[in-house]
Every structure is written in C-alpha cells, then in structure tokens.
Amino acid sequence: MSDTDQAFAGSIPKLYDTLLVPLIFEAYAADFADLVAASKPRVVLETAAGSGVVTRMLAPRLGAEACYVVTDLNQPMLDYAASRQGADERIAWRQADALHLPFPDATFDVVCCQFGAMFFPDRAAGHAEARRVLKPGGRFVLSVWDRIEENVFADLVTDAVATVFPHDPPRFLARTPHGYHDLALIREDLRRAGFTDVAIETCAKSGRPTPAREVAMAYCQGTPLRNEIEARDAKLLEFATERAAEAIANHHGAELVCGKMQAHVIVAAG
C-alpha cells in the first residue's frame, strides 16, 4: 500500500462526499445500517467512518439511550463527517487508528466498518482490535469491495488513467479499495483475529444514475487516485479526468449512467 493511499485531504473530502458517496456508497449504507442496528446495540463503534454516510444512516436507527462513537484515522474526513451530521448528544467524534483503538477491552456491543478495512496496513491486526473492544457476544460488521473487474466504473477509470501514464500507471483503485476481496483470505484474517463465526454475503448493486463526467471526477479527484496522478504530473489531472469521462461515455453514454458494483458484507462474532 502506498503512503498516499490514506491521504484524504484538501478538496478530496468534499468531492468524495458529494460525488462518490451518492455514486457508490449510499446504495450499501442503508442496508449496512439496518444490519448494524438489528441487534439493538446500546454502545456502537464505527471505524474508518470516512465522510459519514453510514453515520447519517445509522444514527436514526439507534435507540435514544445509545452511545455511538465515530472514528477515522484522517482528521479532515472526520471533521467533514461531523459537519454533515446534525446535533446529536449520542454521537462522539474521535480521531483514531483502527489498528490501535484508544478504548478499553469489551466496551462495545457492535463495531462496524463500511469499506474501510481495505485501507488497513495489517487487516488481521485491525480485526483483532475490533474483537478486543467488543463485549462478549458482540458483532463485528464490515464490508469490502469485490475485485475491480466486478466494479465497472472503477475498472474503466483505472484503465483510462493508465493510458495517460503508460509507463507508470496509477493503480490505487485496484491496489487498495479493490485489493481485499479474496474470501478465503478475509476468513483467515478474521480467524487469526479470534472470530469463530463468520458470515459473508456478496451483494451486487447499481449506483445512482450520474453523468459520466461526474463519475470521472468522483474517482480521479475525490479519492487518493488524485494524489497518484498529481505525483506523476499535476498538470495532467484534468486531462486524466477527461480520459476517464470519455471511457465511461464510450461504454455507457455521456448522460446519466449506471454501472454494476459488487461488495462483500461480513458479520463476524465469537
């Protein structure tokens, strides 16, 4: 994993939330929030919360007496998430590394992490931390993207941007967001973390219809793919974005487009 893969700063948080979240994350967030809330937890920890799409979905589903701790490694993303959330005394915002959680053992009924574990430098260690802070009988609910070939827009954008930098193609999307999809590896990492009961469902969805140009903007300028492009040649950011938009338009049209996406939703206990 590159050092830039976790760098969500500058204009990235806003573009991520306004473009990428409606495009791909919202479709999963409501079901994910229902899954977390199903056991009526009183004390919930969210790790790698990003710009807060799950937080906005989950908070209304929790009881009036619930305590909901929302964390992210990246302070700008956490600040942006907090700015989008209405006043809620049940929610505590805290910068935290999911691999070194600043909470006592056996604190939470549920730990949840939507599309964050792929960014952990040591996924098994992150899962072990989740288990450490869970109460006996608690659940770890997480989701990760399936391989990039099952996620149409990410695949098209990766290939298009590679044509701009053929000798050193940016591989952020394939390497990190879509780099933790092997079910056998996921199960083994969770077993190593101490979980004995693991259920995995693979879910395909279609994102919100979006203009091709906005899809390209979402990926090229609203994720750390931007960091990779700018590290090669900052002057080519707009050109790379246009290449991605053209690739999407060639396959799906330039107006409102939808593309298949696929993820693994996991509940671990024991």
Mean pLDDT of 108-126: 97
Per-residue model confidence (pLDDT) at position 109: 98
Dump pLDDT digits (tens) for 229-261: 999 999 999 999 999 999 999 999 878 999 999
Give the domain extent around 116: 3-269
**How do 256-257 and 197-206 pair as beta strands?**
unpaired
Instruction: Quote helix, strand, coil % in the chain, to nearest 5.
Output: 50, 20, 30
Per-residue model confidence (pLDDT) at position 8: 53
Dump pLDDT digits (tens) for 206-221: 988 999 999 999 999 9
CA distance 8 to 115: 14
Per-residue model confidence (pLDDT) at position 2: 52
Q: What is the DSSP secondary-structure string of 101-145?
A: --S-SS-EEEEEEES-GGG-SSHHHHHHHHHHHEEEEEEEEEEEE
DSSP type of residue 223? S
Tell how far CA 98 is from the center of its chain: 13
Number of domains within the chain = 1
CA distance 162 to 209: 25
CA distance 147 to 151: 7
**Rounded to the nearest 5°, which phi and psi values hold at 34?**
-60, -40
Residue 70's beta-bridge partner residues?
46, 93
pTM of the model: 0.93
Token pair recorded at residue 181: 């999809």
Token pair recorded at residue 214: 């906005």
CA distance 231 to 49: 26
Here the CATH number for the domain that contains residue 240 is 3.40.50.150
Q: What CA–CA distances, in Å, run from 217 to 49, 56, 220, 230?
A: 22, 23, 5, 14
Token pair 């056998």 is at which residue?
184
User: Of the candidates 45, 47, 115, 55, which has an alpha carbon nearest to the alpha carbon of residue 81?
Assistant: 55
CB atoms within 10 A of CB 235: 8
CA distance 211 to 178: 23
Dump pLDDT digits (tens) for 53-102: 999 999 999 999 999 999 999 998 899 999 999 899 999 999 999 999 99
